[in-house]
Amino acid sequence: MHADVCIVGAGIAGMTTAYLLSRTGRTVIVLDDGHIGGGMTERTTAHLCNAIDDRYFEIEHLHGEKGAILAAESHTAAIDRIEAIVVEEGIDCEFERLDGYLFVPPNGSKDVLERELNAAHRAGLTDIDRVGRAPIDDFDTGMCLCFPRQAQFHPMKYLEGLKYAIERNGGRIFTGTHAGKIEDGARIETDSGFAVTADAIVMATNTPVNDIVTIHTKQYSYTTYVIAARIPRGSVTRALYWDTDDPYHYIRVQSVSAQDGDDYDLLIVGGEDHKSGQADDGDQRYENLEGWARERFPMIENIEMRWSGQVMEPVDGLAFIGRNPGDQNVYIITGDSGMGMTHGTIGGILVTELIVGDPCPWESLYDPSRITLRTSLQYARENINVAVQYFEGYLSGGDVDSPEEIAPGEGAIVRRGIAKVAVYRDEEGTLHERSAVCPHLGGIVSWNTSEKTWDCPCHGSQFDSYGRVITGPANSDLGSAKDE
């Protein structure tokens, strides 16, 4: 099977790229080992904003004033492009323009707001202004910055609309299809037995699964937590809210229409980030989020949902989009920096223009080969952290001395001589054993109690309780315990 372009990954980045390329007349094939949007896209809180998580004054410091201008321009263009596609394709995905509000935590310095306001104005976002407080009746945020014309939407409904348009334009989408061996711009062999050849390959898998080392030394996986709390309809002003805490909190409101007429809103609150695979206290982090939210939003009735996701944090605050270093015909879209919906859309726009051959002013800003000298200390710090995880992973003991100590529905690492084994006991009591060595670069995985997964603390690969890969950069399952 041949196509002009084969896209691996059917999340926001892959589907946007497929849609835009299909409009140019290119033949497009999309492969995904899950369902459409089944990776981090379905776990996003779907803030569409040009307010940079790492702040414009930091982007200006790292990339210069021109870089900050391009960052503001590209994120604004991403929101506009989503809105245009929604209108043109008639996609019912609850797209809504909203204001966004950035505030500091209690007793926090307002200086960060002044610095951000000035930097954002220099970046061309002159409509951003300071206001006395965010429009929340029960929570006085104090002075904050208002970012007008931000947006939110339902990402899964949006992707369903893109799917219809892609297929209408002749594109083909294969879900439940794992892309195994990937060769530079030529061939992808799938685990289901068929192969795809293409003139160009786009890796849109949150983090690249074709790149062994290069990009993974320049970005780092963080786990973020989210709760959805039931509140009375209209009790919190519909807007996007963010604070400058570390880790910071992010908030939005989603309306729910119940069949019995009991309509209500969900207050979606996220935060409590940590390096992936380097903490196993998810339940406590959910409790922290709930406590933080209830203190500020006393109208909360109960917690309806909770979940976690992974954020790829680039060393210099901006995504890596463009040709994969060392390849001519492989393109990557990664490094969402907590802004996956806009970075993914920027990726679709930029990669389409690179493949078509049109000039794009954002190309150098997001170039995956870039080196930002001012981040050298952070780069060293993060990669020392990875080295420490390797060292501790191999030299430490197991979580338990014997599999008999593992409760049903739980997992633990067991040391057997020099080897480590990932042992899971299912709800029926049967033990399932896999090698604890991550097939990406050999880190030792750890058990994630709240998600029931095995997580690699080195580069964020994630496997289900039986050892099947669900999140890269690993592109294969945990090995057999018998090989250890």
What is the model's pLDDT at position 390?
A: 64
Would you say the C-alpha torsion 144, 145, 146, 152 has a positive or negative sign? negative
Are 237 and 296 part of one and the same domain? yes
Q: What is the pTM of this model?
A: 0.92
Burial 105-129 (b: 16+ CB within 10 A, else e): eeeeeeeebebbbebbebbebeebe
What CA–CA distance (Å, rounded) separates 255 from 52? 26
Are 10 and 102 part of one and the same domain? no
HSE-CB at 316 with a 13 A cutoff on CA atoms is: 25
Within a domain: residue 70?
A: no
Are 232 and 211 part of one and the same domain? no
Within a domain: residue 385?
A: no
Are 98 and 21 part of one and the same domain? no
What is the model's pLDDT at position 266?
A: 97
Within a domain: residue 209?
A: yes
Number of neighbours of residue 246 by Cβ within 10 angstroms: 8
Within a domain: residue 80?
A: no
Are 118 and 16 part of one and the same domain? no
Burial 400-411 (b: 16+ CB within 10 A, else e): beebeebeeebb
Are 241 and 145 part of one and the same domain? yes
DSSP structure string for 81-129? HHHHHHHHHT--S--EEEEEEEEPPTT--THHHHHHHHHHHHTT-TT-E
Are 17 and 117 part of one and the same domain? no
HSE-CB at 82 with a 13 A cutoff on CA atoms is: 34
What is the model's pLDDT at position 257?
A: 85
Are 333 and 409 part of one and the same domain? no
What CA–CA distance (Å, rounded) separates 144 from 245? 13
- Average pLDDT for consecutive 10-residue bins of the chain (484 residues)? 92 97 96 92 94 95 96 98 98 97 91 96 97 94 97 97 97 92 78 88 88 80 95 96 93 88 92 90 95 96 95 92 89 91 96 94 94 74 72 77 91 90 93 92 91 91 92 88 67
HSE-CB at 106 with a 13 A cutoff on CA atoms is: 5
What is the model's pLDDT at position 326?
A: 82
Are 187 and 333 part of one and the same domain? yes
Q: What is the residue range of 294's domain?
A: 47-62+89-154+220-314
CATH number of the domain within which 234 lies: 3.30.9.10
Asked which of 271, 297, 314 is the last residue of a domain, the reply is 314
Are 137 and 33 part of one and the same domain? no
Helix/strand/coil for 255: strand
CATH number of the domain within which 463 lies: 2.102.10.10
Q: Identify the bridge partners of residue 30 per DSSP, sorted by sequence position.
A: 7, 173
Asked which of 293, 314, 335 is the last residue of a domain, the reply is 314
Within a domain: residue 350?
A: yes
What is the model's pLDDT at position 379?
A: 66
CATH number of the domain within which 184 lies: 3.50.50.60
What CA–CA distance (Å, rounded) separates 60 from 69? 8
Are 16 and 145 part of one and the same domain? no
Are 95 and 228 part of one and the same domain? yes
How many structural domains does the chain have?
A: 3
